[in-house]
Structures are given as C-alpha cells and as structure tokens.
Amino acid sequence: MIKVEIVYKDKKFESLKVRGHADSAPHGQDLVCAGVSAVLTGGFNNLEKESSFILKLDRGDAALIKTDEITSHDLTVIETIITSLKTIQESYPQYIEIEEKE
C-alpha cells in the first residue's frame, strides 16, 4: 500500500510524504505506482523555487518539505499534486491511503 501523509500548520502546507508500493500488479506493470510516480515527478519538476523545499524522490519514498515561504505558483503545483493523489485514491482506495494532519 502507498501511504501519503500531508501536514498543514495553521491551514498552510508544511509537508508531503509518500511511502510504499501499491502492489496492484507485478513490478513494471503497476499502474497505481506509475500514476503516483508520474504525479510526483511532474509536480516536483514544475516547482519554480526548489530552494524553498527539501525534496526527495526515490523508489517507494518521496518527500516535499517546506523550508521557506512558498510562491503562489508552487502552492498551485502542490495543490495539483494533492488533488491528483486524491483522485488516484478515489479510484484505487485499496492501494493508496492519504492522511491529512494539522
């Protein structure tokens, strides 16, 4: 199962952590993992001020942790990543779990 943790502080984004594998199909054929990987890779690559974050993107382990103020562009990217992950979860709830914390 893929586990996603999203943390907010005072209703503002603080961090996103994604761990695990969906195991919805054999390695190389897992569309849930491929979808999550595509969302994270595309989103991380679209951040304009990478210096505002600690970024980690490895197999089965990803993180986006805010270290400075976020531009409006980057906030839109983050919101798009989160919405996309929630959309995947709606279709495949048995393979991805999202927890949001304040």
* Catalytic sites, residue numbers: 21, 33
Query: Which among 38, 27, 32, 67 is positioned nearest to 50, based on CA atoms?
Result: 67
Burial of 35 (0-12, 13-18, 19+ CB in 10 A): buried
Alpha carbon 97 to its chain centroid, in Å, reads 12
Whole-angstrom Cα distance, residue 59 to residue 95?
Answer: 16
Whole-angstrom Cα distance, residue 80 to residue 49?
Answer: 16
